[in-house]
Structure 1
Amino acid sequence: MRQFTADYLDETRRGMWEDRRALDPLELGDADRVLDVGCGTGELTRVLAEESPGEVIGVDADADLLAVAADHAPVVAGDATRLPFPDGSFDLVVCQALLINLPDPAATVREFARVSRDRVAAVEPDNGAVTVDSSVAAESRLEGRARRAYIDGVPTDVSLGGTGTRRVFDEADLDSVETRRYDHERTVAPPYSESALSAAKRKASGEGLTDDRTTMLNGDLSAEEFDDLRAAWRAMGRDVIEQMQDENYRRTEVVPFFVTVGRV
């Protein structure tokens, strides 16, 4: 399973649940016990705890991430494929951006159903449908090219999204499956945050692409094509920094998430 740092999770999920209407199908008002599987730093756990009248527990295999999530709710160390709870322990078992990182998501959802006495839910992105609108003309095109190469090299289905998650729920024999789309929009505009400035520097240095080189070369991208992409990427990053210096840089990224709920 792919692993992520606390900083990465905080950055990619910041502000995601400012609008919580997409969570309505989870029926949190009727949930006495909720389990957030693969809770990471606990961003969704916090939202669940705020919206549910009952007990919310987070579970994750990463001790470092659990230490952060513990600020939001009780947490338990555990593997999503072998949850350390008896059958029917929760009204709702939910995950966010977990199934896309697993080799057999249907088996994991069946494990969710084992410990749930009512509902199972998954909030999963379609990373293949991410869009970027930027004041730097080349950024959208290059990000799309890099994203396609990365997705091609990842061994799991990181574009699972709505139809894929519904298929997984059907394979796990869940009933009354419902899916709702939720777009997570992230914007960069002046005054620029420290994380935005850091991201621009990583583009100009090519560091971000270098981190993903092995994955990208696992697909159809050749080493020569990667080098060409990295050179264009660094030039784009320099344009980003130049626009930032004049406070002209704007960027909007939209990541489509799909909230899928089924009954056991």
Structure 2
Amino acid sequence: MREFSEDYLRRTRSGMWDDSREALEPLALGSRDRILDVGCGTGELSRVLAAECPGEVIGCDADRDLLAIARDHVPVVAGDALELPFPDDAFDLVVCQALLINLPDPAAAVAEFARVSTDLVAAIEPDNGAVAVDSSVDAEESLERRARRAYLDGVDTDVTLGADAKTAFTDAGLDVCETRRYDHDRTIEPPYDEHALTVARRKASGAGLADDRETMLDGELTGPEYDDLRSAWREMGRDVIDQMTDRDYRRTETVPFYVTVGRVPDA
């Protein structure tokens, strides 16, 4: 399973659910007694669940460093998603966010979630293949698309799972109740914060692509094709910095998430 830093989790989940929680309605959070957030990371979703649930919310993650941050929001327990440290029927809702896309066998995880749930299991998973980028730099959208396609081709789990998470639910023996879509927008515009400036500098240096080079080359992308992409990427990054200097740069990235809800049989 891939590991993620505190900064990555905070950055990619910043503002998520602040604009609308309509897609979470099938979880009936207001009626829950005990919720488990599996793979909670820094507790970004746990915080939202705790705000909506009158009962108890517990976060669970294998990374103890991330749990040290998540415990600011909810009680936490260290544990593996495929072998949860809880007895059968310990919760009435088990939920995860952007976890199944990083597991080689999502159905096995869903089955383990069902073991500890008396009622519902929910997965909030992105379709990373359908990310949309709107940028004031003409070349950014097409280069992002090329880089994303090459990266996804080299990843060994299904990071485009999204709406197809329901297959993992049925494979695990759950009855799928509903799937709803939620679009998470991340926007960069003036005034630019330090993170936005750092991202721009990493584009201009090619450092961002360098981090993903090994994964990209695990797919069909060749070495020379990677070098050409990185060269164009660095040029695009310089255009981003130029526009930032004039306070003209704007970028919106939209990541589609799908909330899939399943009921434990005989619940």
Which 4+ stretches in 1 moved above 6 angstroms?
none
Hey, what does 1:98 align to over in structure 2? Answer: 99
- The reply on whether 1:248 has 2:248 as its aligned counterpart is yes
Hey, what does 1:86 align to over in structure 2? Answer: 87
- The reply on whether 1:114 has 2:115 as its aligned counterpart is yes
Determine the C-alpha separation between the residues in 2 that align with 1:167 and 1:204: 40
Contact 2:94 2:117 in 1 (8 A): yes
In the alignment, structure 2 segments of 5+ residues that lack a partner are none
Instruction: Please report the TM-score for the alignment, with normalisation by the length of structure 2.
Output: 0.98
Hey, what does 2:214 align to over in structure 1? Answer: 214
Hey, what does 1:192 align to over in structure 2? Answer: 192
Please list, as runs of the form range in 1=range in 2, the aligned pairs for 1:216-231 lying within 5 A after superposition: 216-231=216-231
- Root mean square deviation of aligned Cα: 0.5
Please list, as runs of the form range in 1=range in 2, the aligned pairs for 1:1-264 lying within 5 A after superposition: 1-18=1-18, 19-162=20-163, 164-264=164-264
- Identity value in percent: 71
Contact 2:41 2:67 in 1 (8 A): yes
SS state of the match for residue 36, structure 2?
A: strand
Determine the C-alpha separation between the residues in 2 that align with 1:40 and 1:103: 19
Determine the C-alpha separation between the residues in 2 that align with 1:263 and 1:195: 40
Contact 1:169 1:177 in 2 (8 A): no
Determine the C-alpha separation between the residues in 1 that align with 2:235 and 2:94: 45
Deviations 1:101-156 (A, max 9, x none): 00000000000000000000000000000000100000000000000000000000
**CA deviation after TM superposition for structure 1 residue 176, in Å:** 3.9
**CA deviation after TM superposition for structure 1 residue 177, in Å:** 2.5
Contact 2:169 2:176 in 1 (8 A): no
Contact 1:134 1:140 in 2 (8 A): yes
In the alignment, structure 1 segments of 5+ residues that lack a partner are none
SS state of the match for residue 229, structure 1?
A: helix
Count residues in correspondence: 263
Determine the C-alpha separation between the residues in 2 that align with 1:211 and 1:241: 20
Deviations 1:168-220 (A, max 9, x none): 11111111421000000111110011111110001000000000000000000
Contact 2:176 2:260 in 1 (8 A): no
